[in-house]
Structure 1
Amino acid sequence: MEEQAKGNKVTYRLTTGLFIVYLIVLAWILLLKLGVQFSYMQNRRVNLIPFSEPLILNGQADFGEIILNVLIFVPLGIYAGILFQRWIFGKKLFFFFLISFIVEGLQYILAIGAFDITDIITNTFGGTIGLLLFKAIEKAFNNSVKAQKFINTVAAIGTVLMILFLLFLKMDLLPVRYK
């Protein structure tokens, strides 16, 4: 029994470590813009009308940014489902909103992006999807510890692959260019 409790503690610590790495990478992507100076970064803008300005690319609406904003916050929802199990759904939803609001506010204050309500909505939605995904995985395993171990395995592999991808991208070793 004591061995199982020790194993659960290790699993929880691994989840916490992966969550911290996720937050660091999230800040690097959203606040430091991968270390790239984009032309729009000096223009401070505030958009308070949701979904009023989908990016127009070659004369057509580009919803890629909206989709990416949802996807980048899905892990936040998964980690919140694991690490903040005692929180009610509303508190987790507020957590997703608050993290997104802080990121958007910092982008505006630091003149590295716009404060956009659409981003806050889509980021919060992404966190909610992640939370629901965690609940589905937990239900599939019928055991929260087994679900957490599965998520840790997938997250560890995903984290390593993501960091390698970002490093290769930063070192211009990929055919993709983000400048």
Structure 2
Amino acid sequence: MTPSRSGRSPRSSTLTTILFAAYLVLLVGLVLFKFPFNYETGDSGRHLNLIPFAGSYTAGGVVGWSEVIENVIVFVPYGVYLSMLTSGWSIGRRLLPILITTVAFETVQYVFAIGRSDITDVLANALGGVLGIGIYAGVARLLGARTNRVLNAVALVLTIVVVLAWAFLGVHSMGASPSGHARTLTAANS
């Protein structure tokens, strides 16, 4: 199989596209449907925060960095995959789909009153995407023409692990009652 001008083989690009699509499905499940966690936020209705970090404070008045860090981490693969598929694009051009996606997620959450729409999420997600672009650039400098092949192998393994973990968590969260205690299925309640 001959590589394209960018050094990627058609098979590598196809695998990258499939893995990116799987990642996007998982991302939609996580962001919009909170799968596999299936938890109630206790909130109903629409919530919109346009002040960075204002919605990130804990009850003690301290910024709750864990959610911000999780939002950064969850978008790192987006930047990596986008870079793998669009290596000829500038950083700004790669950042645009990341921003559009995160704003779309926050808009959908607001319109359908599912979760909170928060500018902090947009900023954290964008930072995650930029970090992913940077990670790709660093790996590309180290590995050269082998970059996408190596990243595809790593991404394939991680995707399998994440899907299996989500399936495990999803099955276990379906068996939990709202109070968080496991539910036993019997003939009477099935």
The structure richer in helix per residue is: 1
Residues 84, 40 of structure 1: CA spacing in aligned structure 2 closer, same or farther, 3 A cutoff?
A: farther
Q: How many residue pairs were aligned?
A: 172
Which runs of 5 or more residues in structure 1 are unaligned? none
Query: How far, CA to CA, are the matches of 1:117 and 1:39 in structure 2?
Result: 18
Give the match's secondary structure for 1:39. Answer: coil
Residue aligned with 2:58, SS:
strand
Mapped partners of 1:49, 1:59: distance in 2: 15
Deviates more, 1:68-77 or 1:86-95: 86-95
Q: CA deviation at 1:142?
A: 2.3
Residue in 1 that maps onto 2:159: 159
> How far has the Cα of 1:38 moved from its partner?
1.3
The structure number with the bigger radius of gyration is 2
Maintained 8 Å contact 2:79/2:131: yes
Aligned ranges for residues 23-172 of structure 1 at < 5 Å?
23-34=24-35, 36=38, 38-56=40-58, 60-143=62-145, 146-172=146-172
Structure 2: tracts of 5 or more residues without a match: 181-190
By how many angstroms is 1:58 displaced?
6.5
Which residue type is aligned with residue 137 of structure 1? V
Aligned to 1:4: 2
Q: How much does 1:40 deviate?
A: 3.6
Aligned residue type for 1:136: G
Please give the per-residue CA displacement for 1:25-48, whole angstroms capped at 9, x wherever unaligned.
Answer: 000000111162513452311100
Query: Matched residue of 1:93: which SS?
Result: helix
> Which stretch shows the higher mean deviation, 87-96 or 23-32?
87-96
- Residues 69-121 of structure 1: per-residue CA shift (max 9 Å, x gap): 00000000001111122322111112211110001111111111111000000
Hey, which bits of structure 1, 4+ residues long, moved more than 6 A? none
SS in 2 for 1:138: helix
Amino acid at match of 2:55: E
Question: What TM-score do the two structures reach when normalised by structure 1?
Answer: 0.88
Contact 1:41 1:111 in 2 (8 A): no
Q: CA RMSD in A?
A: 2.2
Give the aligned partner of residue 183 of structure 2: none
Give the direction of change, closer, same or farther, for the CA distance of 1:57–1:63 in structure 2 (3 Å limit): farther
Q: State whether residues 108 and 115 of structure 1, in contact with CA within 8 Å, keep that contact through their aligned partners in structure 2.
A: yes
1:49, distance to aligned residue in structure 2 (A):
0.4
SS of the residue corresponding to residue 151 of structure 1 reads helix
